[in-house]
Chain A
Amino acid sequence: MTTAILISIIMTLVGAATPILLAALGELVVEKSGVLNLGLEGMMLIGAVTAFGVTFTTGSASLGLVAAMAAGAAASMIFAFLTLTLTANQVATGLALTIFGIGLSSLIGQNFVGRTVSGLEHIFPAALADDPIGRVVFGYSPLVYLSLVMTAFVAWFLTRSRAGLILRAIGESDEAAHSIGYSVIRVRYLAVAFGGAMAGLGGAYYSLVMTPMWADRLTAGRGWIALALVVFASWRPLRLLGGAYLFGAVMTLELHAKAAGINIVPPEFLAMLPYLATIVVLTLISIAPSGRRNAAPACLGKPFRATG
């Protein structure tokens, strides 16, 4: 029985971690470029409702995923235009985007309440996921594998690719990057669009995979956890992966402990944990002398305007 439960716990925690990981990967790239977009929750909701709506209408979940990414990216362009082109305050714009997303997704979703779709097909043949070991490797939704691929891609992109180095340079010192001829604004636009698309994908995980349905505020605040995760991971993709699974494990194990009849601490204190842990990590990386290098991108949240 223990192996079966263990495998099931792993699968549940991967499921809980994946949408947060997807959204956080996008936000990580955004923040690495020096932009702080607090509108994650709003973009995730827009992605979730779009994914559901398109899948419900066309019958194609793949189309739903593409639409969710497009919708998330489109929503992020409102943010980009205001903060990058018009140099508006990023904190205020991000919060407005979240309010906007909650409202818009609710309006779009009115016709989809109470409906369901069949969700995403698995990519691996069912036979592979027959035995427990096979299941823990091959038994997930395609989005889980995509999130792993994207983690590797973002890690490679930021450290190995030329474009990624430019993006990081812009996040560390936009002025310097600008003076040697890089287009700060264009790169940040692309980063924000990527962040929006990934948030849309994260939202789609809820409405197509986790609970194939739409209801108001389906993501129930996960966007804020994703935001915390980026900081918790000190802006590093591989730590982000570990952090997402750690957050997922805390959430899953709490429920498993309760299902096994074990009540250790009041659930409210467990719910505080991700946020408290994030504050602790943030403090630690600020204290550690080596951590300074890994700390927040220098230009995070700062508007940039080149004139001429």
Chain B
Amino acid sequence: MRLRLEPRREASRAMLYGTPVLAVALTVLAGILIFSLMGYDGLAAIYQIFVAPIADPYRWQDLFVKAAPLITIALGLAIGFRANVWNIGAEGQYIVGALAGTGVALATWDMQGYWILPAMVAAGILGGLLWAAIPAFLKTRFNVNEILTSLMLTYVAVQLLYYLMRGPWRDPEGYGFPQTRLFSEWQTLPTVVQGTLVHLGVPVAFFLAIAVWIVLSRTVTGFQVRVVGLAPQAARYGGFSARGTVWLTLLTSGAFAGLAGIFEAAGPFQQMTPQFSVNYGFTAIIVAFLGRLHPLGIVLAGMVLAVSYVGGENAQTALGLPYAATGMFQAMMLFFLLAVDILVRYRLRVVVPADLSRPVEARHPPARQAETGAHVSSTPIDKQRESLSA
């Protein structure tokens, strides 16, 4: 006797919502075990990481500020992931967006006016969008794999950031330290809740989540994205352009990342520094998957990640738990989510081994996901495969 995975006829709704909870629960259990084995108080560690930040209202602003860029980037990525367009270079688009906005800020630093901040934000969006346009162009024109190009461009963007900080954009009054001058009052993002750090980027992230949700579930464009992702053949018969979808999704995700970048620069940073790149673009990929590529799930996932960051710092001060343990903890959370994800499309069955030898073709997950709104994370990269083998 052994366990066997058997495809479900329809994606399980219960599992769809249940698996993230299950993943978090498994992470908590594994965390308690591992931290205890390391000689720390496992329960206390979990309390510090997962509960303390939520239990303390003073921390909430930190959670929102930390989550906002993650949510914004992840929303853009999720649209692409649903269409099987794998932009993993959001970090680069985030950086270039912020740099473009910073360029405007530095050009206008001695000016005044309400137009400056919107101009910076527009430049930020455009910067991210253009950086994402490179893989989009290469993909649609030459069939170049966008996973690899977008990833490579991230490292190009990081070096561009270093170059500008150490060279042309260095603060002339900053004692030679590689960072720009502080942005002026006209160039900083206003806070929206008086007396907190919660800046404009936070409500915008939530607004975008709702907007993306509506677009994906209620409009033809959203339908196109989902159909191209799930059934490229059908999409072609239906008149949806695969190329158009690549452009649409890459530009959108690039624009979102660029927006997050300039918000982060003009908000919490109020300047540009070489330390601007803290892998939000990569973390957002995790957020997108943890949120099951669903806009509202992404909001939750972004908050969970923010909790684990803030909580990780709690655990360091309260228990001396090393930083590295938090990183492992986050990785484990994703491992568990990816692991239990299969329960959405398959059920566990106990079978006798004799049955196993019969090969039956069933490539595509048989579950219908198009109508569920939410979407499983491990869709085959069919379209990409087609383009690569063409």
Contact flag (A, B; Cβ within 8 A): yes
A278 to B156, CA, bound (A): 11
A92 near B377 with CB under 8 A, answer: yes
Q: A86-B341, A110-B322, A268-B163 are in contact. Are A279 and B390 (CB under 8 A)?
A: no
**Are B338 and A93 within 8 A (Cβ)?**
yes
Which of B57-65, B115-123, B136-144, B222-230 is found at the contact surface with chain A?
Answer: B136-144
Residues of B within 8 A of A276 (CB): 152, 156
Q: Which residues of B contact A296 (CB under 8 A)?
A: 145, 388
Q: A107-B328, A287-B142, A308-B358 are in contact. Are A275 and B384 (CB under 8 A)?
A: no
Cβ of A95 and Cβ of B378 under 8 Å apart? no
Interface residues of B in 357-384 (CB under 8 A from A): 358-363, 365, 377-378, 380-382, 384
Contacts of B7 in A (CB 8 A): 307
- The chain B residue sitting closest to A82, CB to CB, is B338
Query: Are B327 and A82 interface neighbours, CB within 8 A?
Result: no
Check: B133 CB closer than 8 A to any chain A CB: no
The 0/1 profile, CB within 8 Å of B marked 1, for residues 249-283 of chain A is 00000000000000000101101100110110011
Task: Evaluate contact between A89 and B322: CB separation under 8 angstroms.
Answer: no
Contacts of B382 in A (CB 8 A): 302
Residues 137-189 (chain A) with a chain B CB within 8 angstroms: 172, 175, 178-179, 181
Determine the chain A residues whose CB is within 8 A of the CB of B151 once the complex forms: 38, 224, 227
Q: Is the CB of B285 within 8 A of A279?
A: no
1/0 contact string of B256-291 vs chain A (CB within 8 Å) = 000000000000000000000000001001100100
Give the interface of B toward A (CB within 8 A). Answer: 5-7, 38, 86, 88, 138, 142-145, 147-149, 151-153, 155-156, 159-160, 162-163, 166-167, 282, 285-286, 289, 322-332, 334-335, 338-339, 341-342, 355-356, 358-363, 365, 377-378, 380-382, 384-385, 388-390
Identify A295's interface contact among B330, B359, B388, CB under 8 A. B388
Contact A300 B385 (CB under 8 A): yes
Known interface pairs A88-B341, A179-B361, A266-B167; A103-B331 also in contact (CB < 8 Å): yes
The yes or no answer to A117 lying at the interface (CB within 8 A) is no
Contact of A87 among B327, B331, B378 (CB under 8 A): B378
From B149, B155, B282, give the contact of A95 (CB < 8 A).
Answer: B282
Contacts of A282 in B (CB 8 A): 138, 144-145, 148-149
User: Could you tell me if B322 and A106 are in contact, using CB atoms closer than 8 angstroms?
Assistant: yes
- A103's contact among B144, B155, B324, B356, by CB below 8 Å, is which? B324
Whether A92 and B285, one on each chain, are in contact in the complex, defined by CB atoms closer than 8 angstroms, is: yes
Q: Decide: A269 and B159 in contact? CB cutoff 8 A.
A: yes
Contacts A88-B338, A282-B145 known; 6 new A-B pairs at CB < 8 A: A92-B285, A93-B334, A103-B329, A268-B166, A272-B155, A300-B384
